[in-house]
Amino acid sequence: MSSLFTKFLKSATRLAQRNLLSQNTATLQPTRAASPAARMPTGFGNWQSDAPVGHAEPANDPEVAAGFHAAAFVSQEGSRAYKLFVPRHDTASTPRPLVVMLHGCTQDPDDFAAGTRMNELAQERGFLVLYPQQSPRSNASKCWNWFRPGDQRRDAGEPALIAGMTRHVMRTHAVDPGRVYVAGLSAGGAMAAILGREYPDLFAAVGVHSGLPHGAAHDVPSAFSAMKNGPASARSAGSGSSAAPTIVFHGDSDNTVHPVNGQQVIDDLLSLATTAALPAPERTTQANASMYRGFTRTTYRDAKGRSQAELWEVHGAGHAWSGGSTAGSFTDTSGPDATREMLRFFDEHPRRLV
């Protein structure tokens, strides 16, 4: 079983030891876009105004300066460090999308940014990326506590803390409130699924990579069981009657988090719809190529034909970010590009503002 979840769950039974694992502290620098001009986006792929690639916001204003900034957020639910990537553009006044990225166990923002290449895409397309950082004081292996009931509900625990941090960035930067998204890997993917159920009024869409559905566990033993066999048939329900559209990536050879959990994330979302009115899912399969893994992509639409969920089952892949970079941990360079596909899905799902 991969250490990404296992180290966390073992450490949960011996928190007093606090055996802090080594961190990847390398700084990921902003990358120039390949095109001769960077353009301010209305989404992740729609461009509207030209500006020189190297033109940055005023360096004397830390709230709008381009780069990868470290900061901290404090609320009644606790405090967490975070890093925020701000792309280089000609103005900080035009609202831009925001993607919240939740790392997996033993990871940190630098490692996760490097492995997913999300900052490179953010510079290329002009959106902000927020990386909350789990504290070893809250979890010895720096995992989000997706399995604890107190961290599975709206306005409580880690979901409230992450939502509050997200709103803080929205207040201090020009963020389009209809284009705020959350994605995560492993424990971070499980927490992203929770946020999609508990805060559909904040997050327009969700990306879950190698994660588990909301309420999959209620303590350490049930977490082991859900990881090995899938969640129990009786699970705690979310607090609301809706969930954000969700894209799921999961390797079908994942020995750390059973692949059935990916389907359960989708089923959790579909359970909130009138299933009798839903059209049949659309399934596309691509066989393995010489250098790349094959996959099966299943698209689920609502009664009006609008895409609500996608499940990408990556053939032969284990517990790793599909299409990621070897610069970060827990990545699989041979799979389809989960980062780009999540951004494509996010761009298709802006939240309708009332």
For 42-73, what is each residue's pLDDT tens digit? 356 543 322 222 222 333 344 467 899 999 99
Q: What is the pLDDT of residue 64?
A: 61
Q: Two tokens at 213? A: 């559905």
For the chain, the domain total comes to 1
CATH number where 97 lies: 3.40.50.1820
Burial 133-152 (b: 16+ CB within 10 A, else e): bbebebbbbbbbbbbbeebb
Is 354 domain-assigned? no
Distance CA 233, CA 219 (A): 16
Residue 348: phi and psi, rounded to 5, are -80, -5
Q: What is the pLDDT of residue 157?
A: 97
Q: What is the DSSP string of 150-197?
A: GGSSTTSHHHHHHHHHHHHHHHHTTEEEEEEEEEEETHHHHHHHHHHH
> Which are the contacts of 125, defined by CB distance < 8 A and separation ≥ 6?
41, 44, 45, 343
Is 260 domain-assigned? yes
Is 19 domain-assigned? no
CA dihedral (200, 202, 207, 211) in degrees, to 10, reads -70
Residue ranges in the chain modelled with pLDDT below 50? 1-2, 8, 11-42, 46-63, 90
- The helix/strand/coil state of 219 is coil
Q: What is the pLDDT of residue 354?
A: 67
Q: What is the pLDDT of residue 7?
A: 53
Q: pLDDT tens, 121-153?
A: 999 999 999 999 999 999 999 999 999 999 999
Range of 121's domain? 3-12+37-347
- The helix/strand/coil state of 81 is strand
Distance CA 202, CA 243 (A): 11
Is 209 domain-assigned? yes
Residue with tokens 């059209």: 279
Is 104 domain-assigned? yes
- The helix/strand/coil state of 71 is strand
CA 228, 229, 235, 237 torsion-angle sign: positive
267, exposed or middle or buried, with CB in 10 Å at 0-12, 13-18, 19+?
A: middle
Is 22 domain-assigned? no
Is 28 domain-assigned? no
Is 142 domain-assigned? yes
